[in-house]
Amino acid sequence: MGLDKILSISGMPGLFELKTQTRTGILAESLLDGKKVTINARQNVSLLSEIAIYTLHEEMPLHKVFQKIAEKENGGEAISHKVSKDELEAYFFEVLPEYDEDRVYASDIKKVIQWYNLLCQKGMTDFSEEANEASPSE
């Protein structure tokens, strides 16, 4: 499954898998505890496939950042997202040396690493281009 079915919901911890759309919003399942939640259309929801990280030259799609972390960690989990700000930034610089330090904050790095580790724990480690292409709109 690609990142086009994985959601981040503002105000809710962890990530969610999109299950279906309803008349009033969407039904999603938490990757943390497996509970199903209904999200109304007014809540701020982001598809991971639509998120990118600022670099000095362009924006890099999140799946490519995840792929770089996976390469560094040989497919295993990254460092904990709970380490110090300096450790997070040093780690992220090793993974993505061209990231824009002025526009990518420690809180962003923390989220990326937390999301990556959660996806690894769930066995969702195929971050290739093919696996993460969003389905064409009709």
Percent with pLDDT over 70 in the chain: 93
Q: Which domains does the chain have, with CATH numbers?
A: 3-48 (2.30.30), 52-129 (1.10.10.1650)
If pLDDT is split at 50, 70 and 90, which confidence band does 131 have? Answer: low
pLDDT digits (tens, 9 = 90+) for 51-97: 999 999 999 999 999 999 999 999 899 999 999 999 999 999 999 99
If pLDDT is split at 50, 70 and 90, which confidence band does 23 have? Answer: confident
Phi, psi values for residue 57, rounded to 5°:
-115, -30
3-state secondary structure 11-76: CCCCCEEEEEECCCEEEEEECCCCCEEEEECCCCEEEHHHCEEEECCCEEEHHHHHHHHHHHCCCC
Phi, psi values for residue 33, rounded to 5°:
-125, 0
- Alpha-carbon distance of 63 to 41, in angstroms, equals 25
Say which residue the tokens 């090793």 belong to. Answer: 94
Provide the pLDDT for residue 117.
96
Burial class (CB in 10 A: 0-12, 13-18, 19+), 56: exposed
